[in-house]
Structure 1
Amino acid sequence: MIANILNKLTNQIELTNEEISGLIRAINEDKISPVQIAGFQVALMMKGPTLAEISAIAQAMRDNCIQLSPNVPGDLMDTCGTGGGLSTFNISTAVAIVAASAGITVAKHGSRSISSLSGSADVLEALDVAIDLDPADASKMMEDIGIAFLYAPLFHPVMGKVLPPETELGIKTIFYTIIGPLINPAGANLHLMGVYKPELLETVSQVARSLGYRHGLFVHGTDGLDEISLLGPTLVHELKDGKLSRYEITPEQFGLTRCTLSDIATGTPAENANTIRQVFSGIDKGPRRDSVLLNAAGALYVGGLAENIAEGLAMAADLIDSGKAQEKLRQLSEASNRYARHKQERELP
């Protein structure tokens, strides 16, 4: 199979859905060697993946992950982005907690940092959140408190096999730049997703549509931010009920003042955790709070709790000022550690 796939790719021939599905399944079942995986990645990159191929790979990756089905009303939300943009503190992680405090069920997908000082897993650990939960425990957390962190390496065995060859080769393929954030193991179909390159916005939003996303904002700050930017304009591709629209927004539209990157730059996981705590406690009322508010506004709009981003901004401010976001963080920490202790007890001989 792999020889035929490599032959097609090197001859600039598009792969079929069946070929891609079979390949990803074979990788999952350890029937493809690391050298063959690397060959596939390089050949696909050299040919240039089509939208149909990317969509098929994303669907196959979802089909071959460890899936969750929490018993919750309504749709699930994710705020996982591509990474790779200008490094800010963990805005999307803070936004996930704000969204959950509003009553949106959040399946926060993520991992440790690849391209910055602090990934979502890193900052959550610094916030005293246990990240390595079993699928059943993560599902129960979403049912109990409306949010759980899904540590990507525990749910995506295929990703664990394609990323090492990619890293060793020193290349970034679609597995890193596009696929990862779109394969939430709980099947979240609401998404606020930062994208690190503007040219990827169209592809990401089209793939999301093929996967059945109901509502998503795919955003790129023109300054290089993979968030809704407080530094300047943000390009937005909005997917809602199968329809795509494209527009640009600025902080001034929502009564916010632009800042510089240094105002919201990343630090260590401990420093970013302290930033999030200060924003949630009301100590920090500057640009870092505004960045959380602006992105949380987008999440609340995607989640259907706000009619637009402007309305979401006021709602996000109330969720922080009332202490609801801070309380949701406390619940996330306590519940995750309780389930982590139960997991350790189950594993004792």
Structure 2
Amino acid sequence: MFKDSLGKLTRGEDLTADEVTEFVENMRDDVITEVQIAGFLVALVMKGPSVDEVAAITRAMRANCVQIAPKVKGNLTDVCGTGGGLTTFNISSANALLTASAGVPVAKHGSRSISASSGSADALEALGVNVELTPEQGERLIEEVGISFLYAPNFHPLMLKVFFPELALGIKTIFFTIIGPLINPAGAPHHMMGVYQPHLVDLVSQAAAQLDMKHVIVAHGVDGLDEISILGPSTIAEVKGTKVEKYEIAPEDFGFKRATFEDVKGGDPAFNAGVIRGIFSGEDQGPRRDFLVLNNAFALVAAGVVDRPEDGIKKANENLDSGRATAKLEELVSASHQFAKA
């Protein structure tokens, strides 16, 4: 049946949910080779994945991952980007920490860099966080500290089956850029997600509407950012249950001055960690802070803390100015190492 599915893809035909599930299970059970996996990935990219295919792959990957279920008060939330866009200073990592400082339980799912010079794991590790905790340790950290980094390889063994074929191909497929952000192992139903290409806003938001998620904000900066842009306009798709609302925003809509890419450009993990600490400490009051505050405002909307981004901006500034963001970072750094020893 795998060859039939591959044939359909090469003819530009969409796969059924059963055919997609079979592919994932064939990978799991080593029924297909790396060459066959690579062929499937290329064929799917060339055809262009459908909303139903993305949703079906997500369900199958969720069913075959190590899942956790932290007991929390509040709306469990994830903040992440697909990567692949312009390289900034790991906005999603800073945003996750700032979101947690607002009292939101955060299951920050991610990995090391594939496309950027510094992925979320790299940046958090440079900040001092132990990012490679076991699933049990990650679950406990969310429950007791309010945030944990969930290192994808420790939860998704099937992603390794895709990694080497994709690496050999040298092209982006959908598993790390689209599927990865949708398969949070804690099942976080609230999500702030950035995508690196305009067409992914519709694809990802419509897939999320099929996946029993409560409130998801999918964002793309039209200048090529996989987050809400401080450089210019952004396209937003807001998912509430099965309903999707799409709209455009710009920094000046919220009182922010447009920045240049040089103002928010990222670097290696140490550089990005320094930027985040500078914003949290109050030393950096410029465009990078504005960039983070704007993104955090929408994360707080997705998390259900505020109803309007304007209120989220106020709360983000309060959590930075009060030192809560720095305190949450230091709490996470300390506890992540303590829990690893337990």
Interval containing the TM-score (normalised by the shorter chain): over 0.9
Q: Report the alpha carbon displacement of residue 45 of structure 1 after superposing the two structures with TM.
A: 2.5
Q: Report the alpha carbon displacement of residue 156 of structure 1 after superposing the two structures with TM.
A: 1.0
Which residue matches 2:30?
Answer: 30
**Alignment-mate amino acid for residue 294 of structure 1:** L
Which residue matches 1:231?
Answer: 231
Q: Report the alpha carbon displacement of residue 3 of structure 1 after superposing the two structures with TM.
A: 2.5
Q: Report the alpha carbon displacement of residue 306 of structure 1 after superposing the two structures with TM.
A: 1.1
Matches of 1:122 and 1:223, distance apart in 2: 24
Write out per-residue CA displacement over residues 20-44 of structure 1, whole angstroms, 9 at most, x where no aligned residue. 2122122122222111111211222
Aligned ranges for residues 2-41 of structure 1 at < 5 Å? 2-41=2-41
What stretches of structure 2 of length at least 5 have no aligned partner? Answer: none
Q: Report the alpha carbon displacement of residue 48 of structure 1 after superposing the two structures with TM.
A: 3.0
The alpha-carbon distance between structure 1 residues 222 and 47, as it changes in their structure 2 partners (threshold 3 A), is: closer
Q: Report the alpha carbon displacement of residue 157 of structure 1 after superposing the two structures with TM.
A: 1.0
Which residue matches 2:152?
Answer: 152
Which residue matches 1:303?
Answer: 303
Which residue matches 1:204?
Answer: 204
Secondary structure at the counterpart of residue 191 of structure 2: strand
Which residue matches 1:213?
Answer: 213
Which residue matches 2:291?
Answer: 291
Matches of 1:47 and 1:301, distance apart in 2: 35
2:100–2:328 contact (8 Å) kept in structure 1: yes
Structure 1 residues 161-170 or 15-24, which shifts more? 15-24
Matches of 1:13 and 1:255, distance apart in 2: 46
Q: Report the alpha carbon displacement of residue 177 of structure 1 after superposing the two structures with TM.
A: 2.8
Size of the alignment, in residue pairs? 342
Which residue matches 2:62?
Answer: 62
Matches of 2:10 and 2:235, distance apart in 1: 35
Which residue matches 1:182?
Answer: 182
Aligned ranges for residues 204-283 of structure 1 at < 5 Å? 204-283=204-283
Matches of 1:72 and 1:171, distance apart in 2: 39
Secondary structure at the counterpart of residue 176 of structure 1: helix
TM-score, with normalisation over the residues of structure 1? 0.95
Aligned ranges for residues 31-110 of structure 1 at < 5 Å? 31-110=31-110
2:50–2:203 contact (8 Å) kept in structure 1: no
Matches of 1:30 and 1:36, distance apart in 2: 11
Secondary structure at the counterpart of residue 79 of structure 1: strand
Answering whether residue 197 of structure 2 is matched by residue 194 of structure 1, we say no
Q: Report the alpha carbon displacement of residue 178 of structure 1 after superposing the two structures with TM.
A: 1.3
Write out per-residue CA displacement over residues 81-123 of structure 1, whole angstroms, 9 at most, x where no aligned residue. 1111111001110110111111111000111111221111001
What stretches of structure 1 of length at least 5 have no aligned partner? Answer: 343-349
Secondary structure at the counterpart of residue 218 of structure 1: strand
2:94–2:276 contact (8 Å) kept in structure 1: yes
Matches of 1:166 and 1:260, distance apart in 2: 33
Write out per-residue CA displacement over residues 126-161 of structure 1, whole angstroms, 9 at most, x where no aligned residue. 111001111111000000011000111111111111
Matches of 2:115 and 2:67, distance apart in 1: 27
Write out per-residue CA displacement over residues 191-227 of structure 1, whole angstroms, 9 at most, x where no aligned residue. 1111100111100001111111111111111111111
Write out per-residue CA displacement over residues 230-278 of structure 1, whole angstroms, 9 at most, x where no aligned residue. 1011111111232111111111111111111111100111111111111
The alpha-carbon distance between structure 1 residues 11 and 235, as it changes in their structure 2 partners (threshold 3 A), is: closer
TM-score, with normalisation over the residues of structure 2? 0.97
Secondary structure at the counterpart of residue 15 of structure 1: coil
Matches of 2:312 and 2:196, distance apart in 1: 24
Matches of 1:41 and 1:116, distance apart in 2: 21
User: Superposition RMSD on alpha carbons, in Å?
Assistant: 1.3
Runs of 4+ with deviation above 6 angstroms: none
Matches of 1:299 and 1:138, distance apart in 2: 21
Matches of 1:13 and 1:323, distance apart in 2: 54
Matches of 1:14 and 1:248, distance apart in 2: 30
